[in-house]
C-alpha cells in the first residue's frame, strides 16, 4: 500500500529551528488543520515561501487532537471574498453634516 503524505504548513523561527503547525479556521470559526496533496498545491494557496512538513493523516490527527482540533481539511480553497484594489474600491461617503443628520431623524 502506498504511503499517503500530506504537505502540512508550519511556522519556523528566524533560525529555522522551531517548527509549529499552522492552524486555520473553517467558515463557521472552528479551528482546523490543513494539508495539501502536493507542494505545488500548498504554494498555489499559501505562497512559495510557506514552509511545510510531510505528515501522514494519522500523525496529523495525533498532533492536533490534544489541542481540541478534530477537523482536517485536504487541499482547501480560498473562500474569503476578494479584496478590492484601490482603483476598484468604492469612494467613501462624505461625513454627514448636522443638516443631514436632522433630515434623517
Residue-wise pLDDT for 22-67, tens only, equals: 999 888 888 999 999 999 999 999 999 999 999 999 999 999 999 9
Q: Alpha-carbon distance 100 to 19, whole Å? A: 56
Domain 1-77 has CATH 3.40.1350: yes
- How many C-beta atoms surround the C-beta of residue 5 within 10 A? 16
Q: Give 54-78 as a DSSP string.
A: EE-HHHHHHHHGGGT---EEES---
pLDDT level of residue 99 (50, 70, 90 thresholds): very low
Handedness of CA 70, 1, 45, 47 (dihedral sign): positive
What was the pLDDT predicted at 91? Answer: 58
pTM: 0.69
Amino acid at each position: 500500500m502506498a504511503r499517503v503524505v500530506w504537505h502540512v504548513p508550519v511556522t519556523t523561527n528566524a533560525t529555522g529551528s522551531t517548527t509549529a503547525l499552522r492552524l486555520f479556521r473553517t467558515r463557521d470559526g472552528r479551528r482546523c488543520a490543513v494539508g495539501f496533496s502536493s507542494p505545488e498545491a500548498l504554494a498555489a494557496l499559501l505562497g512559495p515561501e510557506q514552509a511545510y512538513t510531510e505528515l501522514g493523516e494519522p500523525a496529523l490527527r495525533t498532533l492536533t487532537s490534544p489541542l481540541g482540533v478534530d477537523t482536517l481539511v485536504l487541499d482547501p480553497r480560498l473562500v474569503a471574498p476578494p479584496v478590492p484594489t484601490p482603483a476598484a474600491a468604492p469612494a467613501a461617503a462624505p461625513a454627514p453634516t448636522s443638516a443631514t443628520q436632522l433630515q434623517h431623524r
